[in-house]
Chains A and B, each alone.
Chain A
Amino acid sequence: MNFSYTILIPLIPLAVFLLLGIFNQRIKPSVSGYIGVFGLLASAILSLYAAYQYFFIIGKVDGVYQTFVEKTVWMNFTETLSIDMGILIDPISVMMLIVVSVVSLMVHIYSRGYMKDDDGYTKFFAFLSLFTFSMYGLVLATNLFQIYIFWELVGVSSYLLIGYYYTKPSAVAAAKKAFIVTRFADLGFLIGILIIGYYTGTFDFETLNNPEGSAILNWASTSFMGLSAITWALILIFIGGAGKSAMLPFHIWLPDAMEGPTPVSALIHAATMVVAGIYLVARLFPMFYFVQDGFALNIVAYVGAISALFAAIIAITQTDIKRVLAFSTMSQLGYMMLALGVSGYDGHEGVGYMASMFHLFTHAMFKALLFLGAGSVIHAVHSNYLKDMGGLRKYMPITNITFLIAALAIAGMPPFAGFWSKDEILVAAFEHNKLIYFIGVFVAGLTAFYMFRIYFGIFWGKDKVYEHTPKESPLSMTFPLMVLALLSIVGGFIPFSEFVSADKAGFEAHLNYPLAAIAVGVGLTGIILAWLFYKKENNLADKFANAFGVFYKWTYHKFYFDEVYLFITKKIIFKRISAPIAWFDKKVVDATMEGIGNKTVLTSEKIKGMQSGKVQDYAFAFVGGTVVFAIVFIYLWTNN
């Protein structure tokens, strides 16, 4: 028995994409929705079966989960260095298969309702399938280069989907921004890959990650500016991951990416693509951990922690509910990064790694739920802004309940899924780095506060003046909400540590009651504050905003990151660097080229007389050419 059938998991969405893409105009929208959903259903069933087979039947040998690899050589560079294509089955890739499958399936079903009257319905499903294919490919990649290829494919599909409403200038700008910012970070990734290939002679994850392998043991062989080459490579790779996972300072694309349709935000910018960076670090975790005593891993931890804090603060002041969720996503991604950063390797030491993956898993469910719930609300009131919402619990009971469940989960309230995974993260941080632990606890409180701020704002308070009376969304939209809500409740009870751990051996995790109590207490405080501020309309919030004054303003403007970037690109790069280069290009390079071109045409004009149309001239050229050759070569030869 083997896992070669898992190749079908990515291939089915690819086939769906090609089918819908090629026959775009000829397929009825209703049919294309079904093709998308059933294609993905097939992939999801295969994924779940693969997970069952792996975790419960054949994956474990002598108490350690094995890695199954099936691959073919795609391109050979040297004797040892080649680019392979294949599939890699290990605990985290199987776990990711489930996440991608479940969330993507739910989003597909949801989109059938949400995108119902859209003109590009078929195109939308084609893009969704393309994205799902790329994400599966990324998850199953066997080596750095393959993951990079799918990494970029994911970026392209994300670009297509953010810019889906291509008649809206803001959507087009957001798509470009997301693409360029992540591309910029990917440059680091690519350089990192090349360095690894150069110094270790392989791209293969299995070889690289082997704790007894030469890549890890010989990390110190070359150094550059005090750090080993491999450490540099890992830092560069992490930059790529930080770009995709919207870590500081590459986070600026994520809020803007909310211009895409809401199901897309749920799928790509909450549950799957943005965790690719986390996945990448986890994929290379043994390297991060062992090389140079985890220097690169420390960077991961601090970047994660700062991003988590930074995003949570901004989320408090935003008024567009999707943007609140976007910053919340960034904050939670920071959580996962910091958990990886503080993790050890063996047994219970590796609790951070396990917690990070666990949180990735639970977060995917409840954050997708939050986005889809927000989509349901937006669908009903036709606005993204908090000021246009209020009292919706009466009109949308299912959305209300499921949103509440998700909010409780993300706030870390027991027994919802987020509580369990967040607790493990805090345990890991507490054991390794107290500073990061305190940041984590503080962020937990902020999270609860901003999440219930929008919850109360949307569903409680006074009714706003609605153009149409809001009504509950159709079943195709509420069904995914209910499924995800269920998963957000029970997801936490999975004994995750027995399946996923850094050394793949599994361990038993216990709830740390004192730490859990602190976290829950902080979370409850956040919720209560939100209740005081926003349950009823009052001016408490405004008073606080005024009290904080400048700080509030800074936060509201996201600490002016966008403005700084704009200043750097427009005023410095464009004006001081690009403009002179453009001048040089136009006046020197182009002018030279045009000169050559003109000369060519001129020459062509001048020699046209050669083709006279007279056969005797042709014969003369023929014989003359032969004679010249004869003379030249016989002369040359006799000279030799």
Chain B
Amino acid sequence: MDFSSFLLMRQEILLLAIALLLILTEIFMPQNKKSSIVDLAIFLFGIHVIIGFFAIEEGSMFGGMFNTNNLIHFFKNVLNVGVFVLLLQSADWLKEKIVTHNRGTEFFVLLFSSLLGMYFMISAGDFLMFYLGLELSTLPIAALAAYETTKRISSEAGIKLILSAALASGVSLFGISMLYATTGSIYFNDIIEVITATNLSILGLILFFAGLAFKISLVPFHFWTADVYEGAPISIASYLSVISKGAAVFILMILLFTVLKPLMHIWEHIIYVIAIATMSIGNLFALRQQNMKRFLAFSSIAQAGFILLGLIIGNQLGTATVVYFVLIYVFSNLAAFGVVQAISLETGKENINDYEGLYRTNPKLSLVMMLALFSLAGIPPVAGFFGKFFLFIAAASEGYYILVFIAVVNVTISLYYYLLVVRAMFLRKSESAIPFFENKLYMRLGLIITVLGILILGLYSPLYDYIFELSSKLL
């Protein structure tokens, strides 16, 4: 057997090795030094991120169960960078947990396992690998959502997530089995040849779709989102809203655009309805949130609705705009969550009211938050504007004018609540404003990377062309 073909799985193997190494370190590290595991993990993962940037061969393994190509590889890198920023933003919080609560460092092992699951999920070449990846990516997160064992709300988040996820993956698996029943295969390449629109295959499609829609938190599969985000540690909420959602969008796109393409006349209607519902419901709920984490939860639901505008057209343009939007969304949301994290860590405050007068005391943090919210709202010239703009153009190019119109109305609504936070920070004065504090190095790095991302992605257009180029791989 030629082992060099394992190089296709370079990313997965390396990540697994890092996770195992961290377990060993945890066992042999004396208790009083355990907080340095955080530094080690960040260091190792940093190397992993850098190695990820090197080009990888395209190909498939295990008889077609595992695929990789440049687009998939690119997306894994996006996830990597996102997780890296997340680690930077969580480092101080984790160190504190390890020192004061004498907690283990299972955080990294669980987080990396989940990421590993996502790698396999987006690289999957058949439904079995896909399902395994899906499960591996979800279960550790449920444990992490309950990470703060001293807080009741955190446990509640964990149990809500695991219950909902179990239901979702059950439904999804049911759907997969129906697709198997109609086509006689679980391999994507075989299914694509034989699948036709029958009652059974449509039911399979819908059930399968519901499982992924749960991960992306599309309406009406979104209810868990706000409760879990609110209860879970901020890092995990951030992970769920950015990494987990991004990966799920990506695999959903791959499956819809390739395997399920023959059913496009069905799923484009499903997505049409769900896109409108998701944008509108997400926005309407976001309007009245007081808690920053819940607020960002509903904002991320609304954002997912916008992503569907790129999914609905099912071609190379759609792929490129979706990947580009997700990339921007990763940076914007991480920036917003990062600021929430920093403030919560320092003061424990998480409500929008608490942010009043923040600009006077912490101008830099406020500016980062403003940039992030502008990007989410899609105000030029920050990246988010271009992300949304391209999505809308893509949808309009296929004649979905009404959908685009509804999306534009929703952008207007979203502008209102994003600016509400900006107003609290910049225009409101408060006696009890959060006092000035200095961020630690890791947090600062984490925020700087996101800010650079938001600015550069907005101003450096060749990146989009590059993604567009890559997108031809998919079809």
Contacts and interface: CB of A to CB of B under 8 A. Distances in A.
**Bound together:** yes
Given A600-B413, A626-B207, A634-B202, A621 B220 contact: yes
A633 interface: yes
B199 A604 contact: no
A339 to B, nearest CB: 44
A613 interface: yes
Given A601-B287, A601-B288, A615-B160, 15 more contacts: A611-B223, A615-B159, A615-B163, A619-B163, A622-B164, A622-B214, A622-B220, A626-B171, A626-B206, A626-B210, A630-B203, A633-B202, A633-B206, A637-B199, A638-B199
A369 to B, nearest CB: 43
Nearest to B156: A613
Contacts of A611: 223, 226-227, 285
B128 interface: no
B56 interface: no
A435 interface: no
B210 A625 contact: yes
A613 B160 CA distance: 9
A34 interface: no
Contacts of B288: 601, 604-605, 608
Contacts of B223: 610-611, 617-618, 621-622
Contacts of B203: 630, 634
B220 A625 contact: yes
B284 A600 contact: yes
A619 B197 contact: no
Interface string B144-165: 0000000000000001100110
B110 interface: no
A199 B66 CA distance: 58
Given A608-B285, A617-B223, A618-B224, A629 B206 contact: yes
A611 B217 CA distance: 14
Interface in A593-640: 597, 600-601, 603-605, 607-608, 610-611, 613, 615, 617-619, 621-626, 629-630, 633-634, 636-638
B455 interface: no
B171 A603 contact: no
Nearest to B273: A629
Interface string B163-201: 110011001000000000000000000000000010100
A137 B163 CA distance: 65
Contacts of B220: 621-622, 624-625
B164 A618 contact: yes
Nearest to A606: B284
B10 interface: no
Given A619-B164, A626-B207, A607 B284 contact: yes
B389 interface: no
Give the one of A604, A610, A619, A621 with max B CB within 10 A: A604
Given A613-B227, A621-B220, A633-B269, A604 B284 contact: yes
A610 B164 CA distance: 16
B400 interface: no
B221 interface: yes
Nearest to A600: B413
7 contacts: A607-B281, A607-B284, A615-B163, A621-B220, A622-B168, A625-B220, A633-B206
Contacts of A624: 220
Interface residues of A, number: 28
A292 B23 CA distance: 86
A538 to B, nearest CB: 64
B266 interface: yes
A565 B220 CA distance: 61
Contacts of B287: 600-601, 604
B427 interface: no
Given A605-B288, A615-B163, A625 B221 contact: yes
A600 B283 CA distance: 10
B37 to A, nearest CB: 34
Closest 4 CB pairs of A and B: A618-B223, A625-B220, A604-B284, A604-B287
Nearest to A616: B163
Contacts of A597: 416
Contacts of B163: 615, 619
A607 to B, nearest CB: 6
Interface in B316-352: none
Given A618-B164, A625-B220, A630 B284 contact: no
A611 B210 CA distance: 19
Contacts of A618: 160, 164, 223-224
Contacts of B416: 597
Given A601-B287, A621-B220, A622-B220, A615 B206 contact: no
Nearest to B219: A625
Main secondary structure of the interface of A (DSSP, over half): helix
Interface of B: 159-160, 163-164, 167-168, 171, 197, 199, 202-203, 206-207, 210, 214, 219-221, 223-224, 226-227, 266, 269-270, 281, 284-285, 287-288, 413, 416
Nearest to A628: B220
B371 to A, nearest CB: 18
Given A608-B288, A622-B167, A622-B168, A637 B197 contact: yes
Contacts of B207: 626, 630
A104 to B, nearest CB: 30
Interface string A573-611: 000000000000000000000000100110111011011
Give the one of A597, A604, A629, A634 with max B CB within 10 A: A629
Interface in A489-512: none
A298 B121 CA distance: 75
A608 to B, nearest CB: 7
Contacts of B160: 615, 618
B98 to A, nearest CB: 31
Contacts of B171: 622-623, 626
B164 A615 contact: yes
Interface in A308-363: none
Contacts of B164: 615, 618-619, 622
Contacts of A630: 202-203, 206-207
A637 B202 contact: yes
A615 B159 CA distance: 9
A603 B410 CA distance: 14
A466 to B, nearest CB: 49
B224 to A, nearest CB: 6
A634 B197 CA distance: 10
Nearest to B199: A634
A86 B330 CA distance: 37
Contacts of B210: 622, 625-626, 629
A169 to B, nearest CB: 27
Contacts of A637: 197, 199, 202, 266
A600 to B, nearest CB: 6
A615 B220 CA distance: 13
A622 B213 CA distance: 10
A332 B163 CA distance: 84
Contacts of A638: 199
B167 A619 contact: yes
A613 B221 CA distance: 14
Contact of A633 (B214, B224, B266, B281): B266
Nearest to B286: A604
Contacts of A634: 199, 202-203
A637 B160 CA distance: 35
Contacts of A615: 159-160, 163-164, 224
A621 to B, nearest CB: 5
Nearest to B162: A615
Nearest to A607: B284
A143 B214 CA distance: 54
Give the one of A601, A613, A633 with max B CB within 10 A: A633
B270 A633 contact: yes
A601 B285 CA distance: 9
A640 to B, nearest CB: 9
A608 B294 CA distance: 13
B19 to A, nearest CB: 30
A522 B287 CA distance: 78
